[in-house]
Amino acid sequence: MKKSKTLFDNSHVALPSVDLYRGDCLAILPGLAGPFDAVVTDPPYSSGGQSKGDRARGTGDKYLNSGATKFPDFLGDTKDQRSYLHWSALWMSLCFERLAEGGLMIVFSDWRQLPVTTDAMQAAGVTWRGIAVWDKTGGARPYKGGFRSQAEYIVWGSKGPLQGERYSPGVFKVNPQAGGKLHQVGKPLPLMEDLVAACGPRILDPFMGSATTGLAAQMQGKHFTGIEASRHYFEVALQRLKKGAGQAAV
């Protein structure tokens, strides 16, 4: 009897200083031992529309300008705000359990989901420390009759007292296209390098996308554990980190 294909296969691939898992992070996180020194992640925002119909549209329709480079849609972006809060608190709780004492949780958000994200982080047990800003400079989309959507937000906190010695900025001015993009809403590599530099040696990203966080960790000699639900983006991440591992070995 032919085995049916499942949406998530929970597969695991190991590379030097890299562990990658394909599947739903809610299923995979309980099996990870940790501890991790930081969770650095950019979850789906589920904020591309105010109505049920808008949220159900493909992510490319919601987040990309016309004429922009087309990338495959990503999963998990159809929740309303109430379910997004519960879901966020759940995955953050699972990550919190695997954080080392003093470990950082660093989570991206847009303006719509900013209050929900700060609530979820505190509900998960994290000590909420503040909000940093990613200033997209001139690379942000204009808004006719209003203000340019020029920023996204970095909600951060810790598991207990802070233990790091580094002083990091509160505003990161980086063009969205810096370093190239392999994902619809991928963050620029220079931005992720700055964030990863503030963290200890073991990084967890439960929504790794194209693994820009993983590449930043790899470049800094840190161990990266990434989880991705999309089959397409898991493969993109795997090939990207394989290439990075080869370059590091030269």
Is 191 within the bounds of a domain? yes
d(CA 177, CA 191): 11
Is 4 within the bounds of a domain? no
d(CA 208, CA 150): 23
pLDDT in tens, 80-134: 889 999 999 999 999 999 999 999 999 999 999 999 999 999 999 999 999 999 9
Task: Mention every residue, 6+ apart, whose C-beta is less than 8 A from residue 77.
Answer: 44, 45, 46, 48, 55, 59, 62
pLDDT in tens, 24-37: 999 999 999 999 99
Q: What is the pLDDT of residue 78?
A: 74
Residues 155-185, buried b or exposed e (16+ Cβ, 10 A)?
Answer: bbbbbeeeeeeeeeeeebebebeebebbbbb
Q: Tell me whether the omega of the peptide bond preceding residue 35 falls within 30 degrees of 0, making it cis.
A: yes
Is 202 within the bounds of a domain? yes
Per the listing, tokens 């359990």 go with 97
Angstrom distances, CA of residue 235 to CA of 11, 92, 98, 169, 209: 12, 25, 25, 33, 10
Q: What is the pLDDT of residue 92?
A: 99
Distance, CA of 119 to chain centre? 18
Is 27 within the bounds of a domain? yes
Is 8 within the bounds of a domain? no
Judge whether residue 66 has pLDDT over 50. no
pTM of the model: 0.84
The answer to whether the beta carbons of residues 161 and 102 sit under 8 Å apart is yes
Domain coverage including residue 220:
13-49+72-249
The answer to whether the beta carbons of residues 61 and 72 sit under 8 Å apart is no
CATH number at residue 223: 3.40.50.150
Higher pLDDT, 68 or 236: 236
Write down the mean pLDDT value for the chain.
86
Query: pLDDT band at residue 181, thresholds of 50, 70 and 90?
Result: low
User: In the chain, how many domains are there?
Assistant: 1
How, if at all, do strands 99-109 and 36-41 pair? parallel
d(CA 90, CA 113): 16
